[in-house]
Amino acid sequence: MFIPQSYSLAIILCIVTMMCWGSWGNTQKLAGKSWRFELFYWDYVLGILLFSLLLGFTLGSNGENGRGFIEDICQADPGNILNAFLGGIIFNASNILLVAAMAIAGMAVAFPVGVGIALALGVIINYLFAPQGNAMWLFGGVALIVVAIIIDAIAYKKHSATLKKVSGKGIILSVAAGVLMSLFYRFVASSMVTSFEIPEAGKLTPYSAIFFFATGVLISNFLFNYLIMKRPFDGDPLTFRDYAKGSFGVHLTGILGGVIWNIGMAMSILASGKAGFAISYGLGQGATLIAALWGVFIWKEFKGASRSVNNLVLLMFLAYLAGLALLVYAGA
């Protein structure tokens, strides 16, 4: 199977994760013009599963290092399979809340608040279980990112007050999503081998871990998303008849969103072998910065903002960049 061989390559993969995790939300925005997020989410989850299989039978089944995809699945301990599966369930619960927050409050708010909280708590949790990297620089970077979250929340509040469109529900959903999202990665990490090159018996390699994670996402979706369809956060209840009315293009957009997100997940898990879980997760969640850039410059979610609000947004970006730089330096 393919395994990154250097820290520098691991950082490049983390940057790919950052781009993917920060950009998949655009597919929801595109589909959302005529398609409720609850309907979009069925295709999104399908995209996550399909890419996990594609990855397993390509990069996960070629090369001389580690164990092949099918061989790894056959030897896996049930407890480790369950951990990766639970990671998928927890992620799905958090991500449904995040997508709902995006639909209500916009990308420029939902991502910095939700994913920012997930980053701060997730780095701490993953570092406590698998310490790797300089703690002072690592947590210094996390502190700067938390400052960026606070600045973004202040900017949004000031801008919303001007437009008289304060969305308390969007903020609450973002916070709940962030707390849950900080937990999922640790479950997947605990299911995995400590050495990708010489994998222990019973543990999962990155490719099989991603597959069981994706399976957990898919199966839990029949409970979580069905409940949200019946009792939506916003709008009228939906049925599967509504889903069947979607065009080929709108379904493909959702699947593409899931593929983009899972490319990021795969790169993050692969990078963890050289960078460690805390740094790999933390850098990937720099997606907040990418999503905020999309929200501000492409979707114009701060259009008409005052000069003071624009200054706050700029300060938020600078704090995020500084925090991410410290995360990279922590593992150098």
Q: pLDDT per position in the chain (332 positions), as tens?
A: 899 999 999 999 999 999 999 898 899 888 877 789 899 999 999 999 999 999 999 999 998 888 999 999 999 999 999 999 999 999 999 988 987 887 777 666 777 778 778 888 999 999 999 898 899 999 999 899 888 878 877 887 777 665 545 467 888 888 999 999 999 999 999 999 999 999 999 999 999 999 999 999 999 999 999 999 999 887 899 999 999 999 999 999 999 999 999 999 999 999 999 999 999 998 888 787 787 788 788 777 777 888 998 899 899 889 988 998 998 899 87
pTM exceeds cut of 0.85: yes
Structure tokens at 161: 């007050």
Q: Is 1 inside any structural domain?
A: no
Residue 163, burial from CB neighbour count under 10 angstroms (0-12, 13-18, 19+): exposed
| Site of tokens 């069947």 | 244
pLDDT at residue 108, rounded to an integer: 63
Q: Is 209 inside any structural domain?
A: yes
300 Cβ contact list (under 8 Å, min separation 6): none
115 Cβ contact list (under 8 Å, min separation 6): 21, 98, 178, 181, 285, 287, 288, 291
Q: Is 207 inside any structural domain?
A: yes
Q: Is 160 inside any structural domain?
A: yes
Element spanning 16, H or E: helix 7-23
pLDDT at residue 40, rounded to an integer: 93
Q: Is 295 inside any structural domain?
A: yes
| Closest to 90 (Cα-Cα) out of 186, 172, 175 | 186
What are the counts of helices (DSSP H) followed by strands (DSSP E) for the chain?
A: 15, 0
One-letter identity of residue 150: I
Q: Is 2 inside any structural domain?
A: no
Q: Is 28 inside any structural domain?
A: yes
How many domains does the chain contain in total?
Answer: 1
One-letter identity of residue 117: I
pLDDT at residue 166, rounded to an integer: 46
pLDDT at residue 192, rounded to an integer: 97
Look up the domain containing 150 and give its range: 7-331
Please tell me what DSSP assigns to residue 198.
Answer: S
Q: Is 201 inside any structural domain?
A: yes
Length of the chain: 332
